[in-house]
């Protein structure tokens, strides 16, 4: 079984741990650099970007997380986690960390002016519809050529906006699958982890 680290300085890491447990993965709470040893995947939970950035610095995790990601460690970020992993962030504060794991531009609190929080059902990765919970969520405003959109919703004007994106070993969702009883997003992430584990010499391709 794969051991997955869940960043546990702030936010809803407990719910991610419960989902990964339900998928049969082993989990470890990441609070110190040593917690990153021996993991084959990493989850950035939802929460609050600025608070999470400050706590990452306080726990001296920024450099170790950067080098883990630079080494191609599979990573999944939901909501605030998506913001931290994005290449570019709009409507953010300057002191939030930017890990740049994907070539995407996200807008913080993008749905905020119309609706603060909402739930809907959307197809995920060309498959079944899943229940998606959005809480002061970001959306993906620009997607680089290497990034693949796995789910979309429509904005207030009816235009599609991306809310789940994968690029190589990095997966992000605007919504919180850990707050529903659906395991498909976590299962998708564990497939990415297993795919990488089975082919260490492989280019960082995607399942």
Residues annotated as catalytic (active site), given as ranges: 79, 176, 178
Interatomic CA distance for residues 94 and 106, integer angstroms: 14
Within 175-194, which residues bind ligand GLN (CB under 6 A)? none
Q: What is the largest CA-CA distance in the chain?
A: 47
The yes or no reply on residue 79 touching ligand GLN (CB under 6 A) is: yes
The yes or no reply on residue 49 touching ligand GLN (CB under 6 A) is: yes
CB of 16 or CB of 196, closer to ligand GLN:
16
Q: CB burial class (10 A; 0-12, 13-18, 19+) of residue 178?
A: buried
**Residue 175 contacts residue 15 (beta carbons within 8 Å):** no
CB of 36 or CB of 96, closer to ligand GLN:
96
Number of residues that bind ligand GLN (CB under 6 A): 11
Instruction: Count CB atoms within 10 A of the CB of residue 1.
Output: 10
Interatomic CA distance for residues 66 and 184, integer angstroms: 27
- Using CB under 6 A, which of 80, 85, 106, 165 touches ligand GLN? 80
Question: Shortest approach of ligand GLN to residue 54 CB, angstroms?
Answer: 12
Q: b or e along 93-121 (b: 16 or more beta carbons within 10 Å of the residue's beta carbon)?
A: eeebbebbbbbbbbbbebbeeeeeeeeee
- Using CB under 6 A, which of 98, 105, 109, 204 touches ligand GLN? 109
CB of 66 or CB of 136, closer to ligand GLN:
136
Question: Shortest approach of ligand GLN to residue 177 CB, angstroms?
Answer: 12
Within 136-165, which residues bind ligand GLN (CB under 6 A)? 136
Question: Shortest approach of ligand GLN to residue 89 CB, angstroms?
Answer: 9
Candidates 84, 155, 89; CA nearest to 163 is: 155
CB of 29 or CB of 136, closer to ligand GLN:
136
Residues making up the annotated binding site for L-glutamine are 108, 135-136
Residues making up the annotated binding site are 108, 135-136
């Amino acid at each position: 079984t794969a051991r997955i680290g869940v960043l546990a300085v702030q936010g809803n890491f407990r719910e991610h741990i419960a989902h990964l447990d339900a998928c049969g993965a082993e989990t470890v709470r990441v609070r110190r650099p040593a917690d990153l040893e021996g993991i084959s995947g990493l989850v950035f939970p939802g929460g609050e970007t600025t608070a999470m950035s400050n706590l990452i610095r306080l726990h001296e995790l920024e450099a170790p997380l950067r080098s883990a990601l630079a080494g191609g460690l599979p990573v999944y970020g939901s909501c605030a986690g998506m913001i931290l992993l994005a290449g570019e962030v709009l409507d953010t504060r300057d002191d939030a960390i930017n890990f740049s794991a994907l070539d995407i531009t996200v807008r913080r609190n993008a749905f905020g002016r119309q609706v603060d929080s909402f739930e809907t059902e959307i197809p995920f990765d060309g498959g079944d519809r899943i229940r998606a919970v959005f809480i002061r969520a970001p959306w993906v405003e620009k997607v680089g050529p290497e990034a693949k959109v796995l789910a979309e919703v429509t904005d207030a004007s009816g235009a599609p906006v991306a809310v789940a994106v994968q690029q190589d070993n990095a997966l992000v969702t605007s919504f919180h699958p850990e707050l529903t009883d659906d395991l498909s997003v976590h299962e998708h992430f564990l497939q990415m982890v297993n795919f990488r584990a089975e082919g260490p010499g492989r280019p960082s391709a995607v399942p």
